[in-house]
Chain A
Amino acid sequence: MSFYPLLIVLLLMSAVGYWFGSKKALNTVRKSTNFITPRPHQFGLYVVIWALVPPVILSAIWGMLQVAPLQIEAGTLRQIDQVVFPVLLLLATGAGLYFAILRINPDLRVRRTIEGLVYVILILASIISILTTVGIVLSLLFETIQFFGKVPMSEFFFGLNWSPQTALRADQVGSSGAFGSVPLFTGTLLITFIAMCVAVPLGLLSAVYMTEYASSKFRAVVKPLLEILAGIPTVVYGFFAALTVGVFFRDLGDSLGIDVVSESALAAGVVMGMMIIPFVSSLSDDIIMAVPQSLRDGSYGLGATKSETIRKVILPAALPGIVGAVLLAVSRAIGETMIVVMAAGFAANLTANPLQAVTTVTVQIVGLLVGDQEFDSAKTLAAFALALVLFIVTLCLNVIALMVVRKYREEYD
């Protein structure tokens, strides 16, 4: 039997079970000596649980067996799938229904069963987030280990040459490709640095102005406007960087007599910084707000002006939190993909010149994985190794940032 008819039969059976269970509970309730009796629909649910849990468990087991590499002939397998499994399923459901209805009496604590099941489901849902992390780590780790079987770790981490395009013929020159990822890391750092140069001053100063100077009316208008910057999809920023900002910097360079490529690190970095402004400003906003008013009052009482208070009292007090916010912003910038894919170069270029094209880790991951993938070539596996590095670096940055922020919070509580 195929999936949908089976499902419909199961649902029909449980519906009948529900009706029968509630009915029986209502009929027997008068004989009860106990004052507290569960409500009839809970008896119905109790029956439905007994009807549905066995088939769900059976299906899960069968599904796992199918994924596992079994040494069974295809014909037998189909026979089991088409005949044995549905029959087993229906039998289990029927047995569950029968025993549940048989057990119904007004003194039965059905709520405990129902709530126990709900509790299990809630825990299972929570565990999905752990499974996601485990899935990320495992899927990246397996391919990365394979990759380091083909390319030595020292070449990957210290090599200065990155050209993963493997040749068509094995005897061609440079057919093995070069997997030195240093140019990617420096490129990522360069663009991140430029982004931070834009985002940190602008974000921090706007946060200071918003919290200390702005009237509540100004705040109510401007804050949502700044938040728009955070809501714009990154692909839009990428288009803007590639077609407007990149061209603008190139033309500006031309008019000044400086050679600026249109895929310059500067354009990608500036636009990325623009994207991160609201991130920095809203985090700093919270942190500056959390500085206790008594510190401000003390400073004003000693005759300091507002700006002196901000520079000498509030910002030093908020510094750990701001450092945490900047670290979070850095991790955001390192992991950002679309802006650099569209506006930065694909060729690995070991340079610190922001007017040249550089490439980043995320650009290379996209470049290596979009298109045909062969999961035995070093080229495809390299993407997973890069992603693992990216994952670990952003994870560390976040853990450090959260630690810094948390430590700071304890000071005033």
Chain B
Amino acid sequence: MTDQAQKAVGNGWQSEKYIKNLAKRKRSERRFRLTGLLAILTALTLLAILLFSIVSKGYSAFVQTTITLDITFTESVIDPNGKMDPAELRTANYAKLVQDALREKFPDVKGRRDLRKLFSLVSNDADSALREMVENDPDLIGKTVSVDLIAGDDVDMLNKGYIDRDAVEDDRRVKDQELVWLDKLEADGDIKMRFNSGFFTNGDSREPEKAGIAGAMVGSFYTIIVTMLISFPIGVMTAIYLEEFATKNKLTDLIEVNINNLAAVPSIVFGLLGLAIFLNFAHLPRSAPVVGGLTLALMTLPTIIIAARAAIRAVPDSIRQAALGLGASKQQAAFHHILPLSMPGILTGTIIGLSQALGETAPLLMIGMVAFIADIPGGFTDPATVMPVQIFLWADSPERAFVEKTSGAIMVLLGFLIILNAFAVVLRKKFERRW
């Protein structure tokens, strides 16, 4: 026995050759394991880079530079007749008030071109803020008040550090002369940063400093409502039919194959379907949330059906048998027992489907939801745009200031999607039953 064991050390499992081989195999094992871990880490790093690049570009969209000026609400400009006529107050030349204030602040600026540059420090939307002030409080007329006015987008970009002060003047959107003025304002403490509430309350605009996502958010809301109202009932009914009532025949097979294939059709093809059927054939209004919602509903339908079928299948047969045994009809068993029990699963699937629809862009480009729309839509047939399309439009705009707007809008959209998905997860955790 001992002899044999000692012999084995020489040329058996304990031999140098095998020990070396084993070491090699263990090294290769570690390498393989490490490769797997590296793959996961790479994917997560990519995700982190993506999120970081969005947030680092976008967080500044939520604040805004303002310039404080002493505005004199000169009566001769706003209300020359002294009648306080609302129509007249609305159409008065408020821009002149801003210009006067700027002139007063910088008395030595002369010449048309220099003056125009000076006036462009302040957003050309500043006058509407003044109009609103006067309309809310007509007593302001004749008084001098210090007002925070929205700065122009170039000033905003400079103040946020996106424009390099030390660059060659020709390459810089803010010229030396403007820098001198801004430095003076800065020294007087007139340049401030404040929360950009307009980003959440304004519609789209060609001027970056007053562009907001309210229009897109409302458009997305209407579109998703239409999508939900159509795809949820139809999806649930299809799932119930296929799981509970359908006998195995050619029609059922056809429906099943169809649903699986539709789930994999590229989304842009649904856009062409919407264009051909809803716009060219049925003549529904272009750019309207109702058409967008219908198109997205067709796109979301397979997702909801597949999720709902899985949820219905998860309900154990004993429930069905018990209901039938107590004299319920097949439909009573399905609608009174199976459906309520599978509802959490169905709702989770629906929320995931809708969150996909909320982030979808391509089909909506096809049906004209890509137009520039400044107004906030008031109904299902008003021209509208949605959040992802707004992001696409802004990403295409040349102004530097739209980059931060785009990233800001992406942050808001991702926020919505995270809330929706978290809701789906909670719903699943809370109501899902393991049978």
Contact = CB atoms under 8 A, between A and B. Distances in A.
B301 A115 contact: no
B44 A226 contact: yes
Interface in A228-257: 228-229, 231-240, 242-244
Given A140-B272, A236-B414, A239-B391, A122 B241 contact: yes
B19 interface: no
Contacts of A365: 268, 272, 366
B310 interface: no
Interface stretch (B35-43, B61-69, B97-105, B314-322): B35-43
A119 B233 CA distance: 14
Contacts of B326: none
Interface string A183-214: 00000000000000000011111101110110
Contacts of A232: 50, 359, 414, 417
A362 B266 contact: yes
Given A243-B403, A328-B264, A387-B269, A129 B238 contact: yes
A381 B365 CA distance: 17
Contacts of B238: 122, 125-126, 128-129
Interface in B250-276: 254-255, 258-262, 264-270, 272-273, 275-276
A336 B36 contact: no
Contact of B388 (A119, A203, A235, A240): A235
Interface string B228-261: 0000011001101110011000000011001111
Given A235-B392, A238-B392, A362-B268, A310 B32 contact: yes
A202 B42 contact: yes
Contacts of A229: 43, 46-47
B29 A307 contact: yes
B334 to A, nearest CB: 9
Interface string A9-49: 00000000000000000000000000000000000000000
Contact of A306 (B29, B47, B275): B29
Interface residues of B, number: 82
A277 interface: yes
Tell me whether chain B's interface is mostly helix, strand or loop, or mixed: helix
Nearest to A115: B331
B33 A307 contact: yes
B245 A122 contact: yes
Question: Which residue among A115, A139, A143, A274 has the maximum number of chain B CB atoms within 10 Å of its CB?
Answer: A139
A335 B39 contact: no
Chain A contact patch, size range:
35 or more
Interface string B380-417: 00000000110110011000000100110010011001
Contact of A139 (B50, B268, B273, B389): B273
A398 B263 CA distance: 10
A179 interface: no
Interface stretch (A157-165, A318-326, A388-396): A388-396
A276 B242 CA distance: 30
A413 B358 CA distance: 39
B241 A334 contact: no
B421 interface: yes
Nearest to B252: A126
A213 B33 contact: yes
Given A135-B273, A383-B272, A129 B267 contact: no
B25 interface: yes
B359 A233 contact: yes
A132 B298 contact: yes
A218 to B, nearest CB: 9
A305 B25 contact: yes
B342 interface: no
A305 B22 CA distance: 10
A45 to B, nearest CB: 12
A121 interface: yes
A323 to B, nearest CB: 16
A352 interface: no
Main secondary structure of the interface of A (DSSP, over half): helix
A365 B25 CA distance: 53
A277 to B, nearest CB: 5
B258 A129 contact: yes
Given A209-B33, A387-B272, A226 B359 contact: no
A83 B192 CA distance: 66
A61 interface: no
Contacts of B272: 136, 139-140, 365, 369, 383-384, 387
Given A126-B237, A337-B266, A362-B268, A231 B355 contact: yes
A307 B238 CA distance: 45
Contact of A369 (B25, B273, B275): B275
B392 A334 contact: no
Contacts of B255: 126-127, 129-130
A383 B273 CA distance: 12
A65 interface: no
Nearest to B34: A209
Considering residues B242, B246, B361, B391, which has the most beta carbons from chain A within 10 angstroms of its beta carbon?
B361
B258 A130 contact: yes
Interface in B126-181: none
Contact of A115 (B31, B42, B329, B396): B329
Contacts of A286: none
Contacts of B395: 235, 238-239, 242-243, 342
Interface in B64-78: none
A222 interface: yes
Contacts of B427: none
A390 B266 contact: yes
Contacts of B413: 233, 236
12 contacts: A125-B233, A142-B276, A202-B39, A205-B40, A208-B36, A212-B36, A213-B33, A233-B388, A239-B395, A240-B54, A243-B403, A387-B268
Given A213-B36, A306-B32, 5 more contacts: A129-B301, A132-B301, A209-B40, A305-B28, A311-B32
